[in-house]
A and B are shown apart, each in its own frame.
Chain A
């Protein structure tokens, strides 16, 4: 090896700026968030470093005036809504993206490129503009309400806006390109001969889909599920604009604590809960992926 000319050995110092930035602006601050989540709320907002577990208790309980704890599910409902809506979004995105990605993969190269471009295009358009467009569609005097009224239907229909359904529509709309792309990539890798072989062996279309195509697309679906589920957990815009102020998700609950509610320790505690939820999900996916790798190497 020593006779060979040196490959330019990139100085390890090149990593330093990126790591310093992450350390100073994220890793240490996350440590501070943990500290704040165990701190006492200051008299005028902010916080004092006096240890207490009150912020975490506050997520579950109301403290009565004599210090007794009374179970209050208001924040727990927000957490549950966040998880349920994120799961629902992920499942709907999965269900919608498979037929779309499959159909695109069957097209000729030029049509394929065009369709993939059309799928990604909305993603380049500002997120806030895309969410806003649903206000016009779902609003009280919106496109859907008007159409239904013109058809003589839905006279006494309540507003579609500011509901869980509206949030769900907005979330699916925002994140579906992130699901289609990895699913499409895994369908593209699929060997058509396998599908034909399944048919030659008298597998019906449905059987082929269920036993051959879908299992082979699982890696793409798993990747897409992470890309959709994680940002959904922390969504802020969709709940604020489409859910109104009352039906909150964790993201805007946190924002509220750092803004109008001025309860930083509680906001920090909810942030930590959210971060732990995401970490547990990612770890679980990571362990699954590693196990699968191990199994394939073993085989």
Chain B
């Protein structure tokens, strides 16, 4: 057997242990979220009580709303801006300083996030901007741009430029060629980029926490404040709900990718 040569003993077991390590923490949180006991690690029977408490928690609902608002606007803005930049950088001719321009677009990936957070914090304090939601939206748009940009660029690079040329040969205007030919072809990349931007924005803690003022608390910042108060079953229920949403989103992305 040729494949035998490539196998190494013990790798299977190693992988089993690895996947347990990867999923055990998640399983523990889900398990204890159904605990009727107020003390997390003492099992007191099955209960959905903490889910009803979580869903009627006004502060939590407010934080979810803030997060969704910021993430939606940041996703739309960063995806549009990233799409424009990707079109120029991949398709554009005589673009000068292409390498430098690309680095600038990807800048948030090259800096540690805490530095990005400090930068926008100091900027907003110098400019005198106090609206919490506006601050969050601007900061999130900035660091979401590279996450939207990279999948779109990859898709554009994989697309045949001749198709666009053919459309132009058939007297399509640049706009029509883009809307009817290019955009439908790169749509999966645009979708993947937008989804990544959305998840990154929803998940952000470092920047949102540093900017946390003016009454705009995002979901991760709110969860952080709960953790600081101590482990509680309600926290487990909230975490489980977040995980369900994440898993659904990840599965959709996975299935979409597979179809291609």
Contact = CB atoms under 8 A, between A and B. Distances in A.
A, B bound: yes
Contact of B112 (A18, A33, A233, A267): A233
A27 to B, nearest CB: 7
B11 A18 contact: no
Contact of A26 (B111, B126, B242, B249): B111
A146 B164 contact: no
Contacts of A134: 25
B119 A195 contact: no
B119 A30 contact: yes
A286 to B, nearest CB: 10
Contacts of B253: 124
Contact of A14 (B21, B85, B125): B85
A25 B118 contact: no
Contacts of A143: 28, 41
A21 B123 contact: no
Contacts of B224: 128, 237
Interface stretch (A5-13, A52-60, A151-159): A5-13
B183 interface: no
B177 interface: yes
Contacts of A146: 41
Contact of A6 (B168, B247, B251): B168
A100 B18 contact: yes
Contacts of A27: 104, 107
- Helix, strand, loop or mixed for chain A's interface? helix
Interface string B68-100: 000000000000011011011101110100000
A234 B116 CA distance: 10
B50 interface: no
Contact of A99 (B6, B15, B126): B15
A289 to B, nearest CB: 14
Contact of B12 (A19, A96, A103, A192): A103
B165 to A, nearest CB: 5
- Helix, strand, loop or mixed for chain B's interface? helix
A297 B206 CA distance: 42
A181 interface: no
A30 B39 CA distance: 46
A126 B246 CA distance: 8
Interface in A196-248: 196, 199, 205, 208-209, 230-231, 233-234, 236-237, 241
A207 to B, nearest CB: 12
A8 B227 contact: no
A27 B104 CA distance: 9
Interface residues of A, number: 90
B114 A234 contact: yes
Given A133-B239, A251-B114, A10 B88 contact: yes
Contacts of A137: 24-25, 28
Nearest to A114: B254
A5 B168 contact: yes
A113 interface: yes
A164 B150 CA distance: 35
Given A18-B85, A127-B203, A258-B118, A28 B123 contact: yes
Interface of A: 5-12, 14-15, 17-19, 21-30, 32-33, 36, 46, 96, 99-100, 102-104, 106, 113, 117-122, 124-130, 132-137, 139, 141-143, 146, 173, 176, 192, 195-196, 199, 205, 208-209, 230-231, 233-234, 236-237, 241, 250-251, 254-255, 258-259, 264, 267-268, 271, 274-275, 278-279, 282
26 contacts: A9-B174, A15-B88, A15-B92, A25-B120, A25-B138, A26-B107, A26-B119, A32-B119, A99-B18, A106-B6, A117-B251, A124-B246, A125-B243, A126-B243, A128-B205, A128-B220, A133-B28, A134-B25, A136-B32, A141-B41, A142-B41, A195-B6, A236-B113, A258-B121, A268-B118, A274-B115
